[in-house]
Amino acid sequence: MAGTVTTSRREFLQGLLAVGLAGVSPRVVTAQARDPFAGGIMAGTRPLFGRGPDNPLETMIGSGLDARLITDLSTLTPDTLITPNERFYVRTGCPDLLDLSRPWALRLGGAVKRPVTLTLGQLAPDVAEMGAHLLECAGNSNPRYFGLMSAARWSGVPIARVLERVQPTDRRGRLLVSGFDRHSQPSRTSTPGASWIFGAGELERAGAFLATGMNGVPLPRDHGFPLRLIVPRWYGCACIKWVNAIDIVADGAAATSQMKEFAARTFQRDRPDLARDYTPAVIDHAAMPIRVEQWVVDGRVLYRVVGILWGGEQPTDALAIRFRSGEPYVRVDACTKPASTTTWTLWWHAWRPPSPGRYDIVLKIDDPNIRSRRLDLYYYVRSVDIEQI
């Protein structure tokens, strides 16, 4: 199994029942119907791991294009599915050359009858609550954590309202959304040039908006203040920060440097030269474990695997799990079908390992009509060492 997982990863990159918090003291659960953990005591958690750098969690490291803040997903509960701003993942920090002392201007131009420049004050009357949305970095690839993913409640202006202010001269034109991305120091990991080109009508169909607020306060600097594009169910690389321009460009416009940089991570065929040859950078259905709890129930050890389910267009609860190669998949014990796929939901599964040892927790969507490319590549596999049974 380990060899299969490693090869696939290399090829690619080239209400729920109450759940215990990781690291809390043992506690007793009151009896609930059909709860295999009723009356049991949670004795602790087993760490999940995988091959990858051991970076600190929820601590900003680096700056600019090399900045990273990794969210600790292991503590998620039904009451904490919204990530506080200070814990929300960061893939790129605020550019040090960004001058926020000057009034912000959003330019609408390109193939339009008359370009328009908007101030934040002109956008303010159209700001509305946009609900909870999850963001995931397309490069969320460290199996120790997979922590470049978080969810917040956003406010902002629907992209359709913004575009009402200009008259396009090319009805087949595409939308180029650009953000400020100038840094005084070169990056070791990324190419500057935050911009993405979307097909005609693509942003409106996705329910995209220019975010101005995050969890009830103005956008933090590292999350795109004062304007950030949010495209529900698309990877974060397309959710441009520090947006300062939206242009209507020709259907044959060249792909941006950011589109090319993230091509392999968003399932593109090679690195197309033209933007129109890129498929939408959408997040398929995906799932992974976030912690393994060790319980003692009626004098015997029982484990609860807790995880998250996210992505895709249509909600599903068809989640299956296995722990070793060659074993059959079984449906997880508790997976509530979410009302929406714009954010994540929790699931859990009771597990009694047959013997001590290392197990690889593999998940799949048990529905052939649902696309789950990363799961099919064993992307979110995590391992756990079991000592007591």
Cα Rg of the chain, angstroms? 22
Boundaries of domain holding 346: 2-84+284-386
Which residues does 166 contact at the CB level (< 8 Å), separation at least 6?
108, 109, 112, 113, 114, 115, 116, 248
Same domain, 266 and 288: no
Q: Tell me, what's the pLDDT at 22?
A: 34
**179, pLDDT greater than 60:** yes
Confidence at 52, pLDDT banded by 50, 70, 90:
confident
Same domain, 227 and 93: yes
Number of domains within the chain: 2
Same domain, 222 and 206: yes
> Of 254, 277, 300, which residue is a domain's last?
277
Same domain, 164 and 219: yes
Q: Tell me, what's the pLDDT at 29?
A: 39
Same domain, 80 and 96: no
pTM metric for this prediction: 0.91
> Of 277, 308, 343, which residue is a domain's last?
277
Same domain, 132 and 44: no
d(CA 250, CA 176): 10
User: Per-residue pLDDT tens for 104-152?
Assistant: 999 999 999 999 999 999 999 999 999 999 999 999 999 999 999 999 9
The H or E element containing residue 42 is: strand 41-46
**9, pLDDT greater than 60:** no
Same domain, 76 and 187: no
Mean pLDDT within 186-207: 93
Task: Report the CATH number at residue 108.
Answer: 3.90.420.10
For the chain, percent of residues with pLDDT exceeding 90:
87
> Of 241, 258, 277, which residue is a domain's last?
277
User: Per-residue pLDDT tens for 266-290?
Assistant: 999 999 999 999 999 999 999 999 9
